[in-house]
Amino acid sequence: MESFDNGNAGRRQQRPLEFIFMLTRDDMTVPDALAVYQQIRDIPGLRYVGFKDVGLPLPQLRQLAEAIHDGGHTVMLEVVSLSEADELNSARGALAIGADYLLGGRRAAQVVPLLAGSRIKYFPFCGETVGHPTRLLGPSDAIVADAIRLAGIPGVDGLDLLAYRFDGDVARLAEAVVAAVDVPVIAAGSIDCGERIEAVDRAGVWGFTVGSAIFDGSYGAGPLPQRVGAVLAAAARA
């Protein structure tokens, strides 16, 4: 059995559980992201809206970020680009479009200096991530160790954990990561039902992202605002 005893047990994150609606499908920003946002901008209780660094060119991402801010929401950009050059360009893009959070990516040592002096909160992926859509590779103790390493880097504000992109005991991994660090943890990817929302809530994460599952009908077949509302309600119940 893997051991998560690392001598740096952290605290569980504070409530409430935050829901981040991602304007994405299959790890890409949807082509009509701006029109989709206009459908959901007035949903009560929605605070965070995000998108990926792939799928739309930078000028359209800037327009999208401006619309999200005008709607009173917080902007989250998640990096799923694989190469170092693309990841660093996406970090620069986050500055250019005025993102509030930069999620994902693996190159914290290079990204932190780029964000220095900005108001962007930075949540890199912990663990070894590969492919697109992005997957998380084990073993669990190595992921936890990486989380501890990243959380100790000045300029890292939190962690992005691909909990349900991991081929193992998701609940145990999420709980171990949250317990090991003193920064907020976002559970990202493949949270496609209320049971998974409840599971990440029990693990103590700060928030979670949902994109494809809403577009694909996992949270109902009604109008888009109704589906987003269903996820918000599930988060509130958790």
Residue 166 burial (CB < 10 Å; 0-12/13-18/19+)? buried
Cis ω on the peptide bond leading into residue 113 (within 30° of 0)? no
Question: Which ranges of the chain does DSSP label H, i.e. alpha helix?
Answer: 33-40, 58-70, 84-97, 108-115, 140-151, 170-180, 194-203, 212-215, 224-237
Contact between 39 and 65 under an 8 Å Cβ cutoff? The reply is no
- pLDDT above 70 as % of the chain: 94
Sequence-distant (6+) residues with CB within 8 A of 115 are 91, 94, 95, 102, 122, 155
C-alpha–C-alpha distance, residues 155 and 182, integer Å: 14
> Is 185 inside any structural domain?
yes
Tell me: the pLDDT tens digits for 55-105? Answer: 999 999 999 999 999 999 999 999 999 999 999 999 999 999 999 999 999
Task: Check whether 12 has a pLDDT greater than 50.
Answer: no
Q: Please state the domain count of the chain.
A: 1
Q: Which domain holds residue 91?
A: 18-237
Whether the pLDDT of residue 46 is over 50: the answer is: yes
Q: Is residue 86 part of a domain?
A: yes
Q: pLDDT per residue over 112-167, tens digit each?
A: 999 999 999 999 999 999 998 899 998 999 999 999 999 999 999 999 999 999 99
Residue 212 falls inside a structural domain: yes
Domain membership flag for residue 180: yes
In angstroms, rounded to a whole number, what is the distance separating the alpha carbons of residues 87 and 78? 10
110 in any annotated domain: yes
In this prediction the pTM is 0.93
Are 108 and 73 contacting, i.e. CB atoms less than 8 angstroms apart? no
Q: For the segment 207-230, what is each residue's pLDDT rounded down to a tens digit?
A: 999 999 999 999 999 999 999 999
Q: How far is CA 17 from the centre of its chain?
A: 13
Under the banding of pLDDT at 50, 70 and 90, the label for residue 6 is very low
Q: Is 8 a member of any domain?
A: no
203 lies in some domain? yes
CATH number at residue 201: 3.20.20.70
Would you say residue 64 lies in a domain?
Answer: yes
